Amino acid sequence: MPDPMMLMRIYFKYCCGAKLNNSITFISDYKQPVFPVMKFFKLLLTVIIVVIVLAAAVIGIVYFSLNKETKELTYNLRKNTNGSYIELSGGVTHYELDGPDSGKVVIMIHGFSVPYYIWNETYEYFTEHGFRVLRYDQFGRGFSDRPDVVYNKQLYLTQLKELIEKLDLKQPVSLVGVSFGGILATDFTCAYPNLVNKVILIDPGYNFTKPDAISYITTFKEIIGADKRALSQLEDFKYPDKHPTWVEQYIPQMEYKGFRHALVSTQFNYVYNARESNTCLNTKNKPVLLVWGKDDKTVPFNYSDSVRSVLKTEFLPVDDAGHLPYIEQAEIVNPAMVTFLKK
């Protein structure tokens, strides 16, 4: 039987011309495959491995050069700090309690990342006016423990409830919460209404949603953006130049392991819907004072309308103040809060 390949050669030679004959190559003429597929995939795999190794090296360099969390919170460190410490089920909590034993109890709840020093002047003002005042660092902030757990609503509620019980505070207590602390004050009152007397919300958090990126990327952003986070605390003020040491106060807590995890985990696991929570608070029949700086860039002033549409409150809009009106306009806000609590 004639060879088929030979017949094809003869056909192209006599039917298509000699020039075509010279330009056509048959698979059978090659000892190797036309396209070296295996070599390509080996090369591709090598490139991928090299890219992964380089990426890991870059991430490692960035982490070790920019990571601020290099210290552990220890007993020896804490004994040289102000305030007191108490062991709770979730870990050690840093707190300060002052004022006459006979005074009405007020608990001050700080915001998302700034620890209890955020209340310095207001804390002193309240104690001077006869209140028994507690302020504390939430887990992951200040000098409180940074447990390696999920930072969800229950973690924060349990910490506050145990503080009230273990410190044997007279109940019911009044809560003063700023920003994220306002979220916590609202949710705590809804969960434990019998423990709460009155509530003051100062520029409370409203749109508390998950970050766009996954947690690993969000954590990496926190590493490379640590300085930016510290500097951004000045954005809470309308007049940041009046608070030159604010960032210096903030940075030390960033050096203790677990701070970053606490912030990221809270963003992903603290479920909060402002409208639902405020509606819930409204059903508890607690007197509420809402304070809001008109020039707030962190939680814009127009959100106060949304809160008041579902929550019955006394309302104190504060001119010429940002996110922390009780600091920038202390002479207006502090007396108003004391008057409200003494009614």
For the chain, which residues score pLDDT lower than 70? Answer: 1-35, 56-66
Give the pLDDT score at 99: 97
Give the pLDDT score at 37: 76
Same domain for 247 and 145? yes
Q: What DSSP state is assigned to residue 294?
A: T
Same domain for 197 and 275? yes
Instruction: State the Cα–Cα distance between residues 250 and 254, nearest whole angstrom.
Output: 7
Give the pLDDT score at 11: 47
Q: Can you say how many angstroms the Cα of residue 225 is from the centroid of all Cα atoms in its chain?
A: 13
Query: What residue numbers bound the domain in which 159 lies?
Result: 75-342
Q: What is the pTM of this model?
A: 0.84
Same domain for 120 and 238? yes
Q: Which residues contact 241 (CB under 8 A, 6 or more apart)?
A: none
Give the pLDDT score at 28: 46
Classify burial at 130, counting beta carbons within 10 Å of its beta carbon; exposed 0-12, middle 13-18, buried 19 or more: middle
Give the pLDDT score at 43: 80
Instruction: State the Cα–Cα distance between residues 297 and 237, nearest whole angstrom.
Output: 9
Instruction: State the Cα–Cα distance between residues 175 and 108, nearest whole angstrom.
Output: 6
Give the pLDDT score at 138: 98
Same domain for 178 and 293? yes
Give the pLDDT score at 53: 77
Instruction: State the Cα–Cα distance between residues 130 and 333, nearest whole angstrom.
Output: 17
Same domain for 84 and 199? yes
DSSP string, 192-253: -GGGEEEEEEES--------SS-HHHHHHHHHHTHHHHHHHGGGG-SSGGG-TTHHHHHGGG
**301: three-class secondary structure by DSSP:** coil
Q: Is residue 59 part of a domain?
A: no
Same domain for 164 and 20? no
Structural domain total, the chain: 2
Same domain for 4 and 90? no
